[in-house]
Structure formats: structure tokens, C-alpha cells
Structure 1
Amino acid sequence: MAYDQYLAERIERVLSERKALFYQKKMMGGLVFMVDDKMCIGIARDKKTQEDRIMARIGEEAQVKNEKRLGCRPMEFTGRPMKDFVFIYPEGYDNEEDLEFWVDLALAFNPKAKKSKGR
């Protein structure tokens, strides 16, 4: 599983600063940060472009509100966008303020997110 370790450390730092209780889990070809046993935010490599991208679970409302934000794209693996999730490409998280924005959105949605049925 390939992912940018420096990006993982940056996300971990923001989550820690926000006092979020989280753990890391390798899945979906990358690394996911779990909060309250739910996927909150993660990192995966785009197989086509080989760019690392953030997977953020931000909810449908935030998804629509931020769809035009730099670097934000619908999260899709099968040709259909996944509800509540977006990909953020490097231009959308390169500076710390932008990274914090996405982490904060994911943390804000986490209490409303449903746990996986597999748990």
C-alpha cells in the first residue's frame, strides 16, 4: 500500500491538535483515520495520475457546498460518486490552512456518519 507518509503525519498532527481520538487503519489501498470507529479522513493514491489524494467523509451538504473548491472531486471507484465522500487532490491541501479545512469538515460530519455494518 503506497501513500505519502508526510501527508499522513500532517493529517495526524491536525487530528491531534483538534484532540480527536483516532486510530489508523490500512484500507482502500491507502491509510484511513478512524474516529469513533468510523472512517473520517484518509489517503489513497490515484492509480491513473499516481498522485496522493485525500479521501474525506464530509457529508452530502458539505459535498455540494464545496464541490467547486480547488482540488475537490467526487469520490468514485465504480463510476458512481459515493454519498458523503470527496477526494481532494494536492492543489486542495498543499497549504496547512486548506488541509485543516478538510480535516475540520470531516470531523464535523463524523458524529452524524453511520458506522459500517461490518462492525
Structure 2
Amino acid sequence: MAYDEGLAHRLGESLGDLPDLTTKKMFGSLVFLWRGNLLVGALGSDLIARVGPEAQADALAAPGARVFDFTGRPMNGWVVVDGEAVAEDEALEDWIARCREFVEALPPK
């Protein structure tokens, strides 16, 4: 599955000022790593969001969010958000903020 270049561009624009930000193509997606830790990504037209285990239940209650089970095994602390749910910049920024809160507390890799 190819990633949505429009979503990837929007993510890059929003995250562009973060130091130590890199991108990587993985499994047909484009992910953004902050200090070596995966932060967010574009999987098809959907958003991969790393919110952390403690915030996963709240994240899953949000419109368009579902468990991230790309490999057939649900990943704890990760959700996928339907592209339509992040079509507006404000919604995308809210998801990015959730992810930054969790990843900022992780040690750099």
C-alpha cells in the first residue's frame, strides 16, 4: 500500500521545526522519527499515531481511530486514524500533539 503524499507533506510541514527529525519508508508507509523514535506516519491515506500505552484507550475513543494491527498483532500504544478524520489541519495537529507528548518522554535512540 502506497502512502498518501498529501498527508506525508502535511506531516512534514507540521513537524519541520523539530530537531533530530528524520523520515523513513517502511512497509509501504512513510514514517517520521523524532530522535530515533517513531512519532507518526502515513499509511495509505491514514495516520499512524504513536500515543503510548497509557493514552491508547482515550485515543481509540476518538472518531476514526482504530487499533494498529498492521502485522496481524495489535501494537500496544499505537493507533491508526482514518484519513478523513485528519483531513482538517486542526485535527491533524491534535493527533501530532498527542504523539509528541508521548515520544518526547522517550530516551533518544
TM-score (norm 1): 0.81
Distance 1:37 1:95 in 2: 28
2:68 matches 1:70: no
Residue 75 of structure 2 is matched in structure 1 by: 82
Residue 18 of structure 2 is matched in structure 1 by: 20
Distance 2:77 2:107 in 1: 11
The answer to whether the 8 A contact 1:72-1:88 is kept is yes
Residue 28 of structure 2 is matched in structure 1 by: 29
Residue 8 of structure 2 is matched in structure 1 by: 8
Structure 1, unaligned stretches of length 5 or more? Answer: 46-51
For these two proteins, the number of residue pairs brought into alignment is 108
Query: Which consecutive aligned stretches of 4+ in structure 1 deviate over 2 angstroms post-superposition?
Result: 77-80, 111-115
Where is the strand percentage greater, Structure 1 or Structure 2? 1
Where does 1:36-51 land on structure 2 (aligned, <5 Å)? Answer: 36-45=35-44
TM-score (norm 2): 0.88
